[in-house]
Amino acid sequence: MTPAKENLLYEGKAKKVFSTQDPNLFIVSYKDDATAFNGVKKDTLEGKGALNNRISNLLMQELHKSAIPTHLIKELSSNETLVKKLEMFALEVIVRNFAAGSITKRLGIKEGEQFQTPILEFCYKNDALGDPMINQDHILALGLASQEQIQAISSLTLQINSILSDYFASMGILLVDFKLEFGKDGDGKICLGDEISPDTCRFWDAQTKQKLDKDRFREDLGDVVEAYEIILHKILSKASN
């Protein structure tokens, strides 16, 4: 029997998290809200929440095939998913395979340039501070994670990047960069949490370099939901082959 929603524990820009009768299980509800630039730009895009919910769950199921631990238990409805309770690290882990977004301005790199090796970046997850970039010394000094946990998170992140980069390349999609978040389960095991979706990843068509992610909203390119639908269609088409 699937536990029912109880209390709203957290509401972010794109999701709500609810407690259930089981203290070890939460329900994540995806919203249609779209935000950018730390919430300065806002809109509601009908269907976006359901697309992110489905895409994220399918990608986590793909990662399970390679023994990558995630919070995913099962999809409950178009917008809701049952997940394992995690004690989240106050960290965002960013992987960059190609230059896009802030790094192009920060380092003066042309958009689309492929890096010789993936770049791993950490940000302190703190809305009031604007999620500033930090390094491993900051993480240790602030007590956000131990050296062993940093190493485990970094290793998992690079494994996920390798798996998903190959996965999307087989569909003609470039995984340009993406953000991950991790937490500890009741046994202290580090698991992938949050989501993997066009809200948290940059996806480009490998041939045309068409953007198929949240940058369509950030840059006023239009057809945001349609781009997310393209990603879901490619994932479902690959699964059916």
Give the 3-state secondary structure of the chain: CCCCEEEEEEECCCEEEEEECCCCEEEEEECCEEEECCCCEEEECCCHHHHHHHHHHHHHHHHHCCCCCECEEEECCCCEEEEECCEECCEEEEEEEECCCHHHHHHCCCCCCEEEEEEEEEEECCHHHCCCEECHHHHHHHCCCCHHHHHHHHHHHHHHHHHHHHHHHCCCEEEEEEEECEEECCCCCEEECCCCCCCCEEEEECCCCCECCCHHHHCCCCCHHHHHHHHHHHHHHHHHC
Phi and psi angles of residue 106, each rounded to the nearest 5 degrees, phi first: -65, -40
Residue 148 resides in a domain? yes
Domain extent at residue 182: 87-224+234-240
The length of the chain in residues reads 241
- Both 118 and 187 in one domain: the answer is yes
CB 42 within 8 A of CB 60: no
Q: Beginning with the edge strand found earlier in the chain, give each strand of the sheet holding 182-184 in spatial order.
A: 87-88, 182-184, 190-192
Q: Output the pLDDT for position 240.
A: 86
- Kindly state whether residues 152 and 69 are assigned to the same domain: no
- What pLDDT score does 235 carry? 98
Domain final residue, candidates 60, 84, 108: 84
Would you say residue 45 lies in a domain?
yes
Instruction: Look up residue 60 and give its amino acid.
Output: M
Residues 73 and 136 in one domain: no
Residues 65 and 125 in one domain: no
pLDDT in tens, 167-178: 999 999 999 999
Q: Rounded CA gap, 194 and 180, in Å?
A: 7
The reply to whether 130 falls in a domain is: yes
User: In this structure, is residue 60 part of a structural domain?
Assistant: yes
Looking at residue 4, its pLDDT comes to: 86
Does residue 46 lie in a domain region?
Answer: yes
pLDDT at 98: 98
Nearest to 63 by CA among 217, 216, 180, 224: 180
Distance separating alpha carbons of residues 80 and 30, to the nearest angstrom:
6
Instruction: State the pLDDT at residue 3.
Output: 86
- Domain ends where: 52, 84, 116? 84
Q: Read off the CATH number of the domain in which 212 is found.
A: 3.30.470.20
Q: Is 229 within a domain?
A: no
- The tally of domains found in the chain comes to 2
Distance of CA 225 to the CA centre of its chain: 17
Residues 112 and 220 in one domain: yes
State how far the alpha carbon of 70 is from the alpha carbons of 132, 162, 182, 219, in Å.
Answer: 25, 16, 9, 31
Do 100 and 195 belong together in one domain? yes
Q: Specify whether 194 is located in the same domain as 108.
A: yes
Same domain, 103 and 216: yes
Output the pLDDT for position 36. Answer: 84
What pLDDT shows up at residue 2?
Answer: 81
Confirm whether 29 is domain-assigned.
yes
* CATH number for position 27: 3.30.200.20
Pair 99, 157 in one domain? yes
pTM of the model: 0.95
Tens-digit pLDDT profile for residues 190-229: 999 999 999 999 999 999 999 999 999 999 999 999 999 9
Same-domain status, 47 and 101: no
Low-confidence ranges of the chain (pLDDT < 50): none
**Domain identity same for 98 and 157:** yes
Of 84, 111, 143, the residue at which a domain comes to its end is 84
- Mark whether 57 and 139 lie in a shared domain: no
